[in-house]
Amino acid sequence: MATLTILNYPDPRLHKLAKPVQDVDATIKRLVDDMAETMYAAPGIGLAATQVNQHIQLIVIDTSKEQNDLLVLINPKIVVKSGRQEYEEGCLSVPGIYETVARAEKITVEALDKHGKKFKLDVEGLLAVCIQHEMDHLLGKVFVEYLSPLKRNRIKSKMLKLKREKAKA
Ligand code: K2U
Ligand code: ZN
């Protein structure tokens, strides 16, 4: 397994549209393993393939306390959504930034698992937030796009300054 490089906002590759996975083959299974390792090492509770510059519809999530209950969603689709909740979100592609975002409170999501088998989940709370956050990544959307232009531009400047400082180090 390997830890992968996570793209940082405002990298334009974060805005590419992810394509459906055609076949859950050995390559996809290796990417699932590498994404899970990358997510746990970050640490984070979710990671979309877009964030590691792989533009396919693949998400890994683990919201368990012990970080030992990996959820893999391939070609996910939200088929039902209801209610509204606000949550202070972060993103591994926007390090150090936490802002409140409103999303659906409850969702029903259909996807393929890491064996290519179709499943359906009814979720709410943090898991619902995380799935919606990661599915936005597959659409090329980063959570800062829900903020005001002023806030978003300040975050963009901060990320570009961070990138310049890393390049000097
Ligand atoms: O970058 C990512 O997409 C991983 C996200 C997943 C996430 C976003 C918003 C709300 C919950 C999960 C996070 O960076 S993982 C770090 C984290 C953990 C708990 C709460 C907020 C952020
Ligand atoms: Zn994110």
pLDDT in tens, 2-19: 999 999 999 999 999 999
Residue 1 pLDDT > 90, yes or no? no
Q: How far apart are CA 38 and CA 6, in angstroms?
A: 8
* Protein residue closest via CA to atom 2 of ligand 1: 91
* Protein residue closest via CA to atom 14 of ligand 1: 91
Coil, strand or helix: which one is 166? helix
Protein fold of 12-168 = Peptide Deformylase (3.90.45)
**pLDDT digit string (tens) for 18-67?**
999 999 999 999 999 999 999 999 999 999 999 999 999 999 999 999 99
Domain ranges in the chain are 12-168
Residue 83 pLDDT > 90, yes or no? yes
pLDDT on residue 116: 97
- What predicted TM-score, i.e. pTM, was given to this entire model? 0.97
Query: Which candidate in 105, 134, 145, 165 is catalytic?
Result: 134
Q: Is the CB of 103 under 6 A from ligand 1?
A: no
Q: Using the structure block, give the residue that is written with the tokens 């969702």.
A: 107
